[in-house]
Amino acid sequence: MTVHWYGRPNGDKLVLSAAPRPASWNRSSDPEQVALREYLTETVAQAVPLIPPTGPWAMCLEVGLPPNRALTTAADLDNYALPLASALPYERLVSVWCSKRHAESSHLVIGPAQLTDPPSHQIQILTTASTDTVNYKQQVRDALSGTPELVEGPVRLQIAFGVGPTRNWRNLWKPTIDALDPLLGRTYPERDWHPRDDKIVDLGLHVKVDSRLRFEVELSIAAALT
């Protein structure tokens, strides 16, 4: 496996002036899309000056939720991480962390990416199917067959990706997490690709580009109860 693992970035916590918004696939005039664009405009203006001028960098988005909102229902972290990671200059972005907690404010930390030791237990997977097809998800799920499902409770998840130089690794986040129902359980028992990813309260996503990889994707997954 060629994957890399990175630690959370060190640095001062930037208090976000706009509350984080999850990804939206509604039409551009929809109020959710309008609110998302406003949030991204404000947050990108705050964040860009913090990006290191050279070298790989990492970000950590801490989403503050009101105390009456359960941390393990809704507020899927990949949906919060994706819009901001895509809106920022991402050519050197190799590690994205996102967490949720009860807090009045949300924070962002940006700093140089620092390699760290891999988790003590990881599941390694090599996929060969097109990531735009259900076959990719099926290969990930099949590789997890027989893995014990995590019991009910908040989950800490990290996924390290090994990809070829032409791959947009952000496009892999959702289909990969969608295939993790053997680990996370299903939201609806009769429906495929709807895992209990709302249980994830701490998410780390990392990438290593390897020119030897073309269409293949290497995955290393580490999941545990917090």
pLDDT in tens, 82-112: 999 999 999 999 999 999 999 999 999 999 9
* Predicted pLDDT at 151: 86
Pick the CATH number of 123-225 from 3.90.76.10, 3.30.1330.70, 3.40.50.12780, 3.40.630.30: 3.30.1330.70
* Predicted pLDDT at 2: 81
Confirm whether 14-112 and 123-225 share one CATH topology.
yes
pLDDT exceeds cutoff 90 at 11:
no
Mean pLDDT of 124-144: 97
* Predicted pLDDT at 77: 98
pLDDT exceeds cutoff 80 at 1:
no
Amino acid, single-letter form, for residue 82? L
pLDDT in tens, 36-50: 999 999 999 999 999
CATH of domain 14-112: 3.30.1330
Q: What are phi and psi of 16, to 5 degrees?
A: -75, 135
Q: How far is CA 107 from the centre of its chain?
A: 16
Q: What is the DSSP string of the chain?
A: -----BPPPPSPPEEPSS-------S-TTSHHHHHHHHHHHHHHHHHGGGS-SSS-EEEEEEEEE-TTS-TTSS--HHHHHHHHHHHS--TTEEEEEEEEEE-SS-EEEEEE--B-PPPSS-EEEEE-S-TTSHHHHHHHHHHHTTPPPPPSS-EEEEEEEEE-TT--GGGGHHHHHHT-HHHH-BSSTT-TT-B-GGGEEEEEEEEEE-TT-SS-EEEEEEEEE-
- CB 84, CB 98: distance < 8 Å: no
* Predicted pLDDT at 91: 93
Q: How confident is the model at residue 208 (pLDDT cuts 50, 70, 90)?
A: very high
Mean pLDDT of 155-177: 97
> Can you give the residue ranges of every domain in the chain?
14-112, 123-225
* Predicted pLDDT at 183: 96
In terms of Cβ atoms closer than 10 Å to its own Cβ (0-12, 13-18, 19+), residue 42 is: middle
Q: What percent of the chain has pLDDT over 90?
A: 93
- CB 206, CB 116: distance < 8 Å: no
* Predicted pLDDT at 225: 95
